[in-house]
Chain A
Amino acid sequence: MSSASPVPSGRTTPLRGRPWLDGAALQRARLAVVPRVRVRASRFPFVTLVSLILLAGVVGLLCFNTSMQQAAFTESRLSQQATDLAARQQTLEMELEELRAPQHLAAQAQKQGLVIATTVAMLDVETGKVRGQAAPATADATPPLRPRVRKPVFR
């Protein structure tokens, strides 16, 4: 700043060659302390913000916890339902397997008078020839469904 300030050429005094001891210059160069303006920000918004965050956190945690509990109840209920349904499926599958068992099929077939064939004729699709000779089936190859009840022999 001092270098930028114009130095009047007319009033230049050769006072021991020290221009800064010139009174006018001194007068001009004196600095005054500017009073610091102290702005006192209100604490209220900050405290409110922190309180709100805290409150939201607590409420959020509470809600989260509650919803977790709720989810746990739902989970127990649904897993119970899944177990029940799986059990039902298994029971039905077991019934189905019993119906599909060879003895059951044999019993049903025999009830309708079916017997097991003894001879077979096969059509060879490529040559158009019939191999083997089919004959009416007799009950010869159809064993009884249940073996005769044997008295168990314990040795």
Chain B
Amino acid sequence: MAGNQRTVRQPRRGTRRGSPHVRLRIGFMLIAIVLSVFGARLVQLQGIDPYSYAAAARAANLVDIDLPAERGDILDRNGEPLADSVEGLMIVADPALTRKHAPELAKFLSNRLGIDYANALRQLRGDPDSRYEYVARKIPATVASEAVDEARELGYKGLSTERDPIRAYPGGDVAANLVGFLGTDESLGGLERSFDTYLAGKDGKATYVEGSGNRIPLGESTTVEPVDGKTLTTTLDRDLQSYAQRVIAEAVDRSNGESGVVVVQDTQTGELLALADYPTFDANKPGEAPKADRGSRALSDVYEPGSVQKVLTLAALIDAGKVTSRTRLTVPNTLHRQDRVIHDWFDHPTKRWTLAGVVAQSSNIGTVIAADSFAAGQLRDYLTKFGLGRTTDIGLRGESAGILPSPTQWNAQIEDRIDFGQSLSVNAVQMTTAVNAVANGGVRVSPSIVKGSATTAAGVAVGTDHTTRERVVSAEAAQQMMEMMERVPDPETGTAPRAQVPGYRVAGKTGTAQRANSECGCYDGSFTVSFAGFAPADAPRFTVYALVQNPRNGGGGGSLAGPVFAKVMSFALRRYGVPPTGTQPSRLPVEWGRGRG
């Protein structure tokens, strides 16, 4: 404006500056040039290299973290924790800030947290462009935050903590073989593994802009909340499990045996209240135990059941209408069969035993003679119904189905041996469930270890909601079998007086089986001793099965497994307030004819 005025006032100079039109053009040109530069820069930023600045901004302030989901607890039937998730922290380093003091900081942290120095050092140095490295994981929350605060006070920057739940097993070795354990990031055994997806939940994610340690409100922020895992309630009873473990541990140690198992099953519901394995391990320190001891032998070990099998054979035989508990048998000392001679466990003159006497004295010969009346294929059908030869599918991985010879392999010699529990193999839970069918009036109830319903990682829903019931033998046959089994712990007639539970009627059966050795394909002279039974005999509440593999003190089913059975059964009956029925025990005759006792 001033120029214009000057131009007006001094027209001669104005001519030198050119006309307004020219100046206007020059002005527009200049503006256009400047705008072109801006345009070019715009194209450069947005068109040619659009991401480098965005990345730089993100690197400066944007924080991107995982939000770990809390793993579901594993509880016993009363809600007591068997595996528990405890609040823990992971210590995270920003290598851009920690790199300078990495050695000092690594030393400090390894002293405070007991972590590996070299590993900590590597993480603190980090990759050149990394801003986020795990230094330590699963540190109890209070310990971790104290260590980080202290480091900050010492002037080390760049450490922070994030949530990282810890898996704790408050019971230590209680049910450890079933519950399994967790590695740093993955489940490595037992229920932890077979129900991994059920327990794990789903991790979340959070992205937000941060300034000096605080989230900037209204800044870019996305959060996907973690979905915590579901709680798995088992049918186990922690106290009973603990007691059963200690009892079987004592029995195995005293007999210098190889391993032992105790199974406690609720007769009517099929729930497994205890599944004790020995040797076991501390789930908090799984690395200290050999791998073989970390699984559940009750499911993974198969063995020949021995005389406990007679319970199934004879219950089936009675159900088929071939014999009764009072059938009179003449039992010689040895029995010559096609390819070999069958013996009893003790030498005896020819005996006049009733079927009850055969059970009470655990006579192989008597059982084979009685079982000769089975029609072809009949026994195998019964045993299949009892659940032998197929997995129980209670929801644990690594279960062995055992071996029930196929119909094509089945022949008279094999049937003779199967009658008294050799030439077939079972796992302990299968056998408990089979004996429990007799206790439960002839109806087999499928076993379960999960209360309610839960889905395994393999996608199978298991649990008490899926319990099946199937009649195997008639109630009458089961009743007769029970009365015969009651003669076993009877000190006057049976082989297992030490299996008695004071005050209660007990029905049971001993087993002493030769162990097949897979290396030589033969019986190697070692034994499996066992005792299966239920109480109160006339109104069964629990079925307990105890077995010791390869005892080296010469003990048998009655003397070794019998007391284990009695202690665990007694504990269970007292714990659940089961009153004695107060009825008279069975007085079935065990001998017949002249000179019977």
Interface residue ranges, A against B (CB under 8 Å): 68-69, 71-73, 75-76, 83-84, 86-88, 90-91, 93-94, 97-98, 100-103, 106, 116-122, 124, 131-133, 135, 141, 143-145, 147-148, 150, 152-155
**Given A69-B217, A102-B171: A141 touches B571 (CB 8 Å cut-off):** yes
Known: A94-B170, A97-B84. A143 touches B242 (CB 8 A): no
A116/B571 in contact, CB under 8 A: yes
Chain B residues contacting A86 (CB-CB under 8 Å) are 87, 141
Residues of A within 8 A of B408 (CB): none
Chain A minimum-CB-distance residue to B258: A153
List of B residues within 8 angstroms of A133 by Cβ:
502-503
Provide the residues of chain A in CB contact with B202, threshold 8 Å.
none
Interface residues of B in 152-176 (CB under 8 A from A): 163, 168, 170-174
Contact A91 B142 (CB under 8 A): yes
Considering the chains assembled together, what is the distance between the CA atoms of A90 and B139 in angstroms?
A: 13
8 closest pairs, A vs B, by CB? A87-B141, A102-B242, A97-B170, A147-B249, A132-B503, A143-B246, A90-B87, A143-B250
Q: Assuming A91-B142, A97-B170, A131-B582, is B289 touching A76 (CB within 8 A)?
A: no
Q: Report whether over half of chain B's contact residues are helix, strand or loop; otherwise say mixed.
A: mixed
CB-nearest residue of chain B relative to A147? B249
Additional 7 contacts, C-beta under 8 A, given A135-B502, A155-B290:
A76-B214, A76-B215, A102-B171, A102-B174, A102-B242, A131-B579, A147-B253
Q: Which residues of B contact A68 (CB under 8 A)?
A: 217-218
- Which residues of chain B are within 8 angstroms of A73 by Cβ–Cβ distance? 214
Q: Give the chain A neighbours of B292 by CB distance below 8 A.
A: 153, 155
In the complex, are the beta carbons of B290 and A117 less than 8 A apart?
A: no
B579 A132 Cβ-Cβ under 8 A: yes
**B residues near A, CB below 8 A?**
80-81, 84, 86-87, 89, 140-142, 145, 163, 168, 170-174, 213-218, 238-239, 242-243, 246-247, 249-250, 252-253, 278-279, 289-290, 292-293, 502-504, 567, 570-571, 573-574, 577, 579-580, 582
Residues of A within 8 A of B582 (CB): 131
Q: A90-B87, A101-B174 are in contact. Are A119 and B579 (CB under 8 A)?
A: no
A98 to chain B, nearest CB (A): 6
30 pairs, A vs B, C-beta closer than 8 Å: A72-B214, A72-B215, A76-B214, A84-B142, A86-B87, A86-B141, A91-B140, A94-B84, A97-B168, A97-B170, A101-B170, A101-B171, A102-B238, A102-B242, A103-B171, A103-B172, A103-B173, A103-B174, A118-B570, A120-B570, A120-B574, A121-B503, A131-B580, A132-B504, A135-B502, A143-B243, A145-B246, A147-B252, A152-B293, A155-B290
